[in-house]
A and B are shown apart, each in its own frame.
Chain A
């Protein structure tokens, strides 16, 4: 049998080689850890990365002008200091920031990266995050040359930026992956191959990628050229397994092969019996049901939406249907972790919690029927994704609306791309949606339902809402901005524009011998940068 397999292997593995993995999850002497990824990063080109896995790997191997610390505050990274004055921002780069080939990270590298992320030819899906740069949007649309984007390298270590309009949170944006530097000579030499493999990428982060076996494993090794390398304890991070199956990853954790795994509604019970310490973490995303506000839809009727608002109990959904700890019932588009003027936004501007009142709800429903001129509301179509949790929540909503209001709900389960197509085309009455933050500011949620936002799939169109978004966008005064945001929150409630469901939380296991891992809402999550293995 062994000989048989040997022949097979030598026959079949002539091209691809998969390194054997049998390392344990943590190694104190070598300061090495092993992790599992949920899927393979589609690519590691910082200009184009959009997904979570790239969002995890990239900040470990690359670094922008600034980064977030463990408490979510902005700290210097490649930039030593910066000045911001209305529309002008100047970054002063540190001189000891090096690329993995030993050359300095210069202001030109940022200019190149930003210009090319905005170049129409690159077709970056996240180019919009660079729109605050003056002429950025016009360049992306091909109206202006990318040379006219207002980002200039004064010298090797000074980067000068002019913004389209004053932007309170621009420094926070600069920590985002699309803002990472790329060195021109290297990228041009690689051409289309840039970031396709470990040798096709230049690193300036705490780690460098030394091995990338597609769909099987990744290996990150401490970057000896990193300017702050004394603070980095881990020598190697092995991502030796790639699977989205939570049970498989729990089994790997039990077997001592990986340091971290996320638990779901099914696996946490097994983790409990194993007596592991379970931790929780808020991902920062909000999930909600988005109504279709297009005129021809029944859901365009305010009273119908109000009726549903008064029977839906987010608390019950979270506690009985989702059934995993960590999730919070959502009563607003703005999650509780967002910063307000001084403290938390939601403490300064509390959200109205809809009261549960079946009589009121039925009155609203009668009004809706009258306005729509129907005896019965026709069955509503609820568009959901194909994950088991999505189906479970849809089934719950179906049961709830039938029992409380006698409303029929038809569940339309669609795979990812089909669902997106239907969402964009407006082929739904209600759609299950979620929104995760791109940066740490209320605006990442605030402009979501502005009439011009393409992610406003239900086409909610409210002049007052738009007006307040513009007020918040045009100001850098925290009070003015937050007041406008507070008003947005009220409008969404009054109009029952969406039905907030829950703020996502996850529970997970982490090897207790690994300390200093940071979970974060924006940026690399989990962040192993400053982690260390203890005895």
Chain B
């Protein structure tokens, strides 16, 4: 058994050849870290893309889809989305004198108990969407005739449809209908009257007008050559991929233009007032005491101001003349009147966070106010703030709509999603697309902001940092 005898060598420092595995990670700032975690959240990222898409839709869209959002196509009112329709070119509308019989009394000579329905109801000239002209034989005892139009065959006298009009006397035996004619099946009915009361008998005919467009209109819309004078040719009408509204304006173009107003107001106003609210509520909550009391009383004062009255005042105060859209004054008004809610919320959060242990700890370590606020209080209050923000987006889009409704919002013809919704809700049963499209865009926007808000809440939550 050899005994080992240590030598000098054994007491020298060992040179470390390699540093071996050391557990480090790149130092990430709070925001870098948040971004990394946000990227892992697929839903949030998809939402982000949707928001970028919406921005492109409104900013780039109008350059790709060049239809004028204010152009009224009265041939195609409230059209549902469809492929371009074919129409026949016709000459200008010519007035029609109608048929008035001179040898027949206008007022009945005596009032009869029962007046039969007129006979021989027929269409005069060609029935087109320009006009449908009807004539019939006079009835003895009639002091006038009422003309009805329905979109299905009448079942009884109570089912004649729309009362289009009446003639002025029993001797006027024609009627011209131009009321919102479409190329579809119509049933016209005729009832005699004694000048006041209607008879119980009616006569009906079925008419399907031909879709037409006036030559001058076709020219001004660029559907036919400027030099062309051909009539009775078939051409394709403008394509409205999302249909048209109540004045025949292109929905897609209006949605693109409306997005500007809605997104501008819906995003900027909350952003500005939430920012202000954070600052205001944060200061109040953090510093507390007299300052808090004073700031909060002022917030209470602003909350209690009558919104409607002050919006009107701002509108005038900022001098929106006729014809201006009034978007900016509305934005300012929304910000000036909207911040107290956020301020209160932030203050509530700050009051709560201020009492947390880690704040005490940071204070003991000598942290300054601004450090505490930016590093601890705001990140911790971020969740609630973001939720408010994502909710303020639709709320402001609708405030704008409601104001448009009472004539205090953006001036026409500038569209906004909210005001389009407002128009659409009135025809939601007969033309649902006028409500569905703007509502869909609002929903998508809201959804995107919410999911992004969720993602941000998690990403920005400083307590999550340690859990990666």
User: Do any beta carbons of A and B sit within 8 angstroms of each other in the complex?
Assistant: yes
Q: Which residues of A contact B (CB under 8 A)?
A: 70-71, 247, 265-270, 272-273, 275-280, 315-316, 318-321, 323, 325-326, 328, 336, 343-344, 347, 353, 379, 381-383, 385-388, 391-392, 394-396, 398-399, 403, 408-415, 507, 512
Q: Are A319 and B158 in contact (CB under 8 A)?
A: no
Q: Are A507 and B163 in contact (CB under 8 A)?
A: yes
**Known interface pairs A272-B150, A399-B71, A413-B407. Does A277 touch B179 (Cβ–Cβ under 8 Å)?**
no
Residue of chain B at shortest CB distance from A319: B178
Q: Are A410 and B247 in contact (CB under 8 A)?
A: no
- State in angstroms the CA–CA spacing of A266 and B338 once bound together: 34
Partner pick for B407 among A279, A344, A386, A410, CB 8 A cutoff: A386
| CB-contacts of B306-343 with A (<8 A) | 312, 321-324
- State in angstroms the CA–CA spacing of A518 and B323 once bound together: 43
A343 to chain B, nearest CB (A): 8
Q: Are A277 and B162 in contact (CB under 8 A)?
A: no
Q: Report if B412 contacts A (CB, 8 A).
A: yes
Q: Are A325 and B150 in contact (CB under 8 A)?
A: no
A-B contact pairs, 7 of them (CB 8 A): A247-B426, A275-B155, A276-B158, A325-B179, A391-B407, A398-B413, A412-B411
Partner pick for A412 among B70, B159, B168, B322, CB 8 A cutoff: B322
Closest 8 A/B residue pairs (Cβ) = A410-B323, A386-B407, A412-B322, A266-B426, A269-B430, A280-B163, A277-B158, A319-B178
Partner pick for B427 among A266, A381, A399, A410, CB 8 A cutoff: A266
Q: Are A392 and B168 in contact (CB under 8 A)?
A: no
Q: Are A379 and B163 in contact (CB under 8 A)?
A: no
- State in angstroms the CA–CA spacing of A392 and B106 once bound together: 37
- State in angstroms the CA–CA spacing of A512 and B198 once bound together: 13
Chain A residues closer than 8 Å to B426, beta-carbon distance = 247, 266-267, 388
**Known interface pairs A320-B77, A383-B322. Does A326 touch B163 (Cβ–Cβ under 8 Å)?**
yes
Residue of chain B at shortest CB distance from A316: B74
> How many residues of chain B are within 8 Å of chain A by beta carbon?
45
Partner pick for B165 among A247, A278, A325, CB 8 A cutoff: A325
**Known interface pairs A410-B322, A411-B411, A411-B412. Does A270 touch B429 (Cβ–Cβ under 8 Å)?**
yes
Encoded as 1 (CB less than 8 Å from any A CB) or 0, chain B from 63 to 88 comes to 00000001110100100000000000
Known contacts A270-B430, A415-B407; 18 additional CB pairs below 8 A are: A71-B196, A267-B426, A268-B162, A272-B161, A278-B161, A315-B178, A381-B323, A383-B322, A388-B423, A392-B247, A395-B72, A396-B72, A398-B413, A408-B323, A412-B321, A412-B323, A413-B407, A512-B158
| CB-contacts of B414-468 with A (<8 A) | 423, 426-427, 429-430
Residue of chain B at shortest CB distance from A276: B158
Chain B residues closer than 8 Å to A272, beta-carbon distance = 150-151, 161-162
Chain B residues closer than 8 Å to A387, beta-carbon distance = 407
Q: Report if B233 contacts A (CB, 8 A).
A: no
- State in angstroms the CA–CA spacing of A316 and B159 once bound together: 27
Chain B residues closer than 8 Å to A316, beta-carbon distance = 74
Chain A residues closer than 8 Å to B165, beta-carbon distance = 280, 325-326, 328
A322 to chain B, nearest CB (A): 9
Q: Report if B7 contacts A (CB, 8 A).
A: no
**Known interface pairs A321-B247, A412-B322. Does A279 touch B163 (Cβ–Cβ under 8 Å)?**
yes
Chain A residues closer than 8 Å to B429, beta-carbon distance = 269-270, 273
A376 to chain B, nearest CB (A): 15
- State in angstroms the CA–CA spacing of A412 and B322 once bound together: 4
Residue of chain B at shortest CB distance from A247: B426
- State in angstroms the CA–CA spacing of A392 and B406 once bound together: 14
Of the listed residues B150, B406, B426, the one surrounded by the most CB atoms of chain A closer than 10 A to its CB is: B426
**Known interface pairs A319-B179, A323-B179. Does A392 touch B323 (Cβ–Cβ under 8 Å)?**
no
Q: Are A394 and B412 in contact (CB under 8 A)?
A: yes
Chain A residues closer than 8 Å to B183, beta-carbon distance = none
Residue of chain B at shortest CB distance from A266: B426
Q: Report if B246 contacts A (CB, 8 A).
A: yes
Q: Report if B157 contacts A (CB, 8 A).
A: yes
Residue of chain A at shortest CB distance from B406: A386
Chain B residues closer than 8 Å to A394, beta-carbon distance = 412
Q: Are A399 and B70 in contact (CB under 8 A)?
A: yes
Partner pick for B323 among A71, A247, A403, A411, CB 8 A cutoff: A411
Q: Are A381 and B322 in contact (CB under 8 A)?
A: yes
Q: Are A415 and B406 in contact (CB under 8 A)?
A: yes
Residue of chain A at shortest CB distance from B77: A320
Chain A residues closer than 8 Å to B150, beta-carbon distance = 272
- State in angstroms the CA–CA spacing of A413 and B106 once bound together: 44
A365 to chain B, nearest CB (A): 17
Q: Report if B237 contacts A (CB, 8 A).
A: no
Q: Are A396 and B179 in contact (CB under 8 A)?
A: no
Chain B residues closer than 8 Å to A71, beta-carbon distance = 196
Q: Are A319 and B159 in contact (CB under 8 A)?
A: no
Residue of chain B at shortest CB distance from A277: B158
Chain A residues closer than 8 Å to B168, beta-carbon distance = 336, 344, 347
Partner pick for A319 among B157, B180, B408, CB 8 A cutoff: B180
Q: Are A269 and B427 in contact (CB under 8 A)?
A: yes
Residue of chain B at shortest CB distance from A385: B407
- State in angstroms the CA–CA spacing of A391 and B415 once bound together: 12
Chain B residues closer than 8 Å to A276, beta-carbon distance = 158
- State in angstroms the CA–CA spacing of A408 and B14 once bound together: 91
Chain A residues closer than 8 Å to B408, beta-carbon distance = 386, 415
Residue of chain B at shortest CB distance from A264: B426
Of the listed residues A315, A318, A398, A399, the one surrounded by the most CB atoms of chain B closer than 10 A to its CB is: A399
- State in angstroms the CA–CA spacing of A318 and B74 once bound together: 12
B261 to chain A, nearest CB (A): 15
Residue of chain B at shortest CB distance from A313: B93
Of the listed residues A269, A328, A383, A415, the one surrounded by the most CB atoms of chain B closer than 10 A to its CB is: A269
- State in angstroms the CA–CA spacing of A447 and B426 once bound together: 38
Q: Are B411 and A325 in contact (CB under 8 A)?
A: no
Of the listed residues A272, A279, A410, A507, the one surrounded by the most CB atoms of chain B closer than 10 A to its CB is: A272
Q: Report if B142 contacts A (CB, 8 A).
A: no
A401 to chain B, nearest CB (A): 12
Chain A residues closer than 8 Å to B246, beta-carbon distance = 265, 323, 392
| CB-contacts of B159-178 with A (<8 A) | 159-166, 168, 178
Residue of chain B at shortest CB distance from A419: B407
Q: Are B158 and A275 in contact (CB under 8 A)?
A: yes
Chain A residues closer than 8 Å to B430, beta-carbon distance = 266, 269-270
Q: Report if B220 contacts A (CB, 8 A).
A: yes
Q: Are A403 and B220 in contact (CB under 8 A)?
A: yes
